[in-house]
Structure formats: C-alpha cells, structure tokens
C-alpha cells in the first residue's frame, strides 16, 4: 500500500522517529528551510559570548542575581536566601515528557533540574530539590557534558529548570558545550522572579523563555512565596523583556519549539493566583497570540496544608472560569492540552 506523506509523517511521529523531528530536517524535494542556529552560537560568532560569561561570573562576588539582592560573596562561600553555593547543584538530568507538546516533541525535553530556589513557595511541587537543595554539586564542565549528553540521546532542547541563581554557571557551561558541538535551543524555565538587569545579560543567548506568572497581587506573593512582595511587578517587567528578546513562540516545520516566549500560569483554589487579572494583563501588554498555558494541575504539596484556602485541588469550575476569562480577553494561543481539557469538561457537562 502506498503511504501518503501525511500518513508517513504520522506513523513516524508515533514511532518516535528521531530524524523527522530534528530541527532543519527536510523531506526530499521539499524547499530547504533556512538553517536554524541557536542564539548563543550567533553571539559566539560575533565574539561576544565570552564577555557575557565574564560579566555574569563577576556578579557572584556581590550576588544580585535575583530580586532578593542578597549581596553575598558566593565565590568566598557565603550563602544568600537561595542557599546556593557558587557551583551548581543538580538533582537530575534526563528527557522529560511532562512539558508542553512543542517542547517535548517525540524525544523529550532535555531537562536539567537545578537544586535550590530564589522564590521558595509554600506549595512547591519540587520542594525536596528547591527547598532542601538535594542533589550533587558539579563543575561547569560537568554541566556542559550533561547538555551534550541530552543532545546525543535526541532531546529537542536544553531545558534549564530553576536557572536564576546559577545563571553564570549556565552561560559558562553553554559556551564550553558549544565548542564541543552543542546545537540545541536553550530553554530558560523560570519562576518569573527575575531582575531586568540580569535578563539583559541573557539577551542573544536564550532561545526560549518559559516564565511562570504565579500571582498578580503582592499580598499573595508575600504569603505564599516567602515575602516576595514585589513578585507581580517584577514578573511583569521580566516577561515584557523576555518578549522583547525572543518574540512570540515559534516552531519549526515539525512543530518543535525553537524560539519565543511561553507563559505558564497555575490556576489555584479560591482565585488565589489572580487569573482574571493575569489574562487581562497579557492581553493588554503582549501580543494576543502570546503562548499561554493555563494549568489545571495544582495539588496540595509541602506547606500548603497549613493554608486552608490552598489546601485543596482546584475544581472543574475554577479551571473553566480561567479558560473563559482567557477567551473573554481575546488570547488566541492557549496551550492545546488546556484547550483539550476545557473541551472535555464542556463535553461532559453537555451530556
């Protein structure tokens, strides 16, 4: 039986075929796509990446890497709010299939989980890693090798989870890995608690930003994220800067993310996350086709049991009202899994 091209692509995707999902792969006879180059590779070609690594490393001497601005000298072993040493601590690195579809593709997102965190939320779902700092201290060269390993086994990107407090190590490791052949999108997966000045150091290095926008009110940020009263204003400015740097979410001809901004917002019980304000702000401040993932998977973790208003999962109604607000304010690029869940709930209600 002769297979149509669509059938061929479909079956190959199903089988997780590696070559079909490689950025830059083209079918015979098809117009060749412009060769994709990671942002950091272009910066290196311009001779500017080494200087950025140097600038970033200097910040460790008076650590202002995040809005906590502790001012400690991490090179001398002093520790600030995040409790992170000067070397990165890594909990794990592996292909991850729990991210957005365009990031996961057929072979997974090459995820590196960094230990410690500069935000420390009471409902943290990774608390043994983020709060207790479990993991192994490594050299930047080891981190570079992990990036290359993830590339070798076919992952679609290097997904840096909680990168803020180890940004200088990441930059150094990326440059080391680049010299050994790294050619994957660099994916900055952050809580959104980022300083504008620090993000400017990442301009032309990061390909994909995925910030959270956790709350829109200072009161909630103070209560649930260890006194981070400036979180809403800081996160808004950070997201605008990320958008300026990388633009809206872009995929290659196989649907794999190669550049752009993807915002995550976790719906919380009792409207704690300020979801209506969040979607309204996105619709007014960013392009309407900004990729937004409105997530339904809040679960009670860590110290959330001590706060009655967040000591339960969200209801179907709470998720549906969040999706309705996104529609009302005109967002046009919602995560397909969220849309599928909304449609499923609607379908169930109508039967």
Which residues sit at the interface with ligand SF4, rule CB under 6 A? 63-66, 68-70, 72, 80-82, 84, 118, 165
- The minimum distance between CB 166 and ligand SF4, in angstroms, equals 8
- The minimum distance between CB 182 and ligand SF4, in angstroms, equals 25
For residue 10, the 8-state DSSP code is H
- The minimum distance between CB 291 and ligand SF4, in angstroms, equals 27
The residue number with the shortest CB distance to ligand SF4 is: 80
CA torsion angle 122 126 129 131 (round to 10): 0
Of the pair 234, 257, the CB lying nearest ligand SF4 is at: 234
Of the pair 80, 185, the CB lying nearest ligand SF4 is at: 80
CA nearest 66: which of 131, 136, 120?
120
Token pair, residue 269, equals: 């019980």
- The minimum distance between CB 138 and ligand SF4, in angstroms, equals 18
- The minimum distance between CB 89 and ligand SF4, in angstroms, equals 12
Of the pair 75, 312, the CB lying nearest ligand SF4 is at: 75
CA nearest 268: which of 223, 214, 230, 225?
214
Of the pair 80, 110, the CB lying nearest ligand SF4 is at: 80
Q: HSE, CB side, 13 Å, CA atoms: give it for residue 206.
A: 32
CB 204 within 8 A of CB 172: no
DSSP β-bridge partners for residue 260: 208
Q: HSE, CB side, 13 Å, CA atoms: give it for residue 33.
A: 13
Of the pair 69, 244, the CB lying nearest ligand SF4 is at: 69
H or E, element range at 170: helix 167-179
Of the pair 16, 71, the CB lying nearest ligand SF4 is at: 71
Q: Is the dihedral of CA 277, 316, 231, 171 positive or negative?
A: negative
Of the pair 111, 162, the CB lying nearest ligand SF4 is at: 162
- The minimum distance between CB 116 and ligand SF4, in angstroms, equals 8
Among left, alpha and beta (phi > 0; psi -120 to 50; other), residue 154 is: left
- The minimum distance between CB 67 and ligand SF4, in angstroms, equals 7
CB 193 within 8 A of CB 67: yes
Nearest-angstrom CA–CA distance, 344 and 301: 26
Q: How many CB atoms lie within 10 A of CB 212?
A: 22
- The minimum distance between CB 40 and ligand SF4, in angstroms, equals 21
Of the pair 209, 281, the CB lying nearest ligand SF4 is at: 209
Q: Are strands 186-190 and 136-137 parallel, antiparallel or unpaired?
A: unpaired
């Amino acid at each position: 039986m002769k297979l149509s091209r669509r059938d061929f692509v479909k079956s190959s995707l199903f089988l997780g075929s590696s070559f079909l999902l490689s950025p830059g792969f083209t079918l015979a006879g098809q117009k060749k796509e412009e060769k994709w180059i990671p942002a950091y590779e272009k910066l290196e070609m311009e001779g500017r990446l080494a200087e950025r690594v140097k600038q970033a490393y200097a910040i460790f001497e008076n650590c202002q890497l995040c809005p906590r601005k502790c001012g400690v000298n991490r090179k001398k072993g002093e520790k600030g709010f995040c409790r992170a040493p000067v070397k990165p601590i890594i909990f794990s690195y592996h292909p991850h299939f729990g991210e957005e579809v365009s990031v996961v593709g057929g072979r997974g997102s090459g995820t590196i989980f960094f230990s410690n965190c500069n935000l420390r939320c009471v409902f943290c779902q990774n608390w043994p890693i983020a709060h207790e700092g479990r993991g192994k201290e490594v050299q930047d060269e080891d981190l570079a090798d992990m990036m290359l390993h993830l590339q070798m086994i076919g992952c679609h990107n290097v997904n840096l989870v909680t990168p803020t407090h180890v940004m200088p190590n990441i930059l150094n490791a990326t440059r080391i890995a680049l010299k050994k052949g790294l050619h994957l999108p660099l994916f900055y997966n952050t809580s959104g608690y980022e300083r504008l000045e620090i993000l400017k150091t990442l301009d032309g290095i990061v390909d994909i930003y995925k910030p959270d926008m956790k709350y829109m009110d200072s009161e909630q940020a103070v209560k649930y994220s260890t006194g981070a009263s400036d979180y809403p204003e800081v996160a808004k400015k950070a997201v605008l800067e990320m958008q300026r740097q990388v633009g809206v979410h872009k995929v290659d001809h196989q649907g794999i993310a190669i550049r752009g901004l993807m915002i995550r917002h976790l719906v919380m019980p009792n409207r704690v996350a300020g979801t209506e304000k969040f979607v309204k702000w996105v619709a007014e401040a960013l392009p309407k086709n900004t990729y937004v993932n409105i997530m339904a998977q809040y679960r009670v973790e860590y110290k959330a049991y001590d706060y009655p208003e967040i000591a339960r999962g969200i209801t179907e109604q709470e998720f549906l009202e969040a999706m309705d607000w996104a529609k009302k304010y005109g967002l046009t690029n919602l995560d397909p899994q969220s849309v599928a869940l909304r449609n499923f709930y609607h379908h169930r209600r109508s039967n």
